[in-house]
Amino acid sequence: MVKNEPQTRLEHSLLEDGQAFVLGASLTSFGLALLTHAGLVTGQTAGAAVLISYATGWSFGAVFFALNLPFYVLGWLQLGPRFTIKSFVAVALTSAMAEILPLYISFGDVSTLLASLLAGAIIGMGLIVIFRHGASLGGVGVLGLWVQEKFGIQAGWIQLGFDAVLFATALLVLDPGLVIFSLAGAVVVNLIIAVNHRKDRYVGR
């Protein structure tokens, strides 16, 4: 029986990081556009930004960018400047694309449940791309990745706990039926992260 060779933690190049952040931000922003078209909400910091946007009419991109600012302190202190700077770039790109994509993409009639599940899958894959290049979309993602690195608890489960509180709050803003559909999409996001984002299987940074 041949033992697995020790894995070497490889550095991504600047070009590789750049294309990953553009791809990840594009997928995440597209998923959010589909989600909000159906009047739904997602989890994590993006979900909080969506709820605030619904309640106030403020721009999602601006709210999302602002909500992430305090978490950069935790990122800098606990996960280092490299991670924090990469996350700042990823958040800035996602905030910008969330404002730009709706100008060029429109949706017709979409099943609410299908929109939730597809958006959850698209957002989850976008997050995986960003995570695997040593960054996150800030907020709860920073907290989740820090806990994962320190204690070995999957980031997806940390985010799922935050989402439980978020969706309870969403009941004050949205119809309960929409919250239930939204929850299904958030479960898809977090399951994708929990199953696929494991440092014992992927060692790039």
Assigned domain for 99 exists: yes
Please count the structural domains in the chain. Answer: 1
- Residue 190 covered by a domain: yes
pTM attached to this predicted model: 0.83
4 in a structural domain: no
Region 100-128 average pLDDT:
92
Residue 165 forms part of a structural domain? yes
Phi, psi of 6 (to 5 degrees): -60, 140
Q: Identify the pLDDT of residue 201.
A: 58
**DSSP for residue 4:** P
Q: Is residue 2 part of a domain?
A: no
Which two three-digit tokens encode residue 173?
């803003």
Residue range(s) defining the domain that contains residue 135? 14-196
Asked whether residue 6 is domain-assigned, the answer is no
> Residue type at 201?
R
Separation of CA 147 from chain center: 16
Token readout for 18 is 């750049």
Task: Determine what percent of the chain is predicted with pLDDT higher than 70.
Answer: 89
Q: What are the pLDDT digits (tens) for 179-192?
A: 999 989 988 987 88
Single-letter code of the amino acid located at 20: A
Q: What residue type is 109 in one-letter code?
A: D
The torsion angles phi and psi of 150, rounded to 5 degrees, stand at -80, -40
CA 41 – CA 27 distance, rounded (Å) = 16
Domain contains 7: no
Say if 9 falls within a structural domain: no
Min mean pLDDT across 39-53, 65-79, 132-146 is at 132-146
Contact by Cβ (8 Å): 61, 129: no
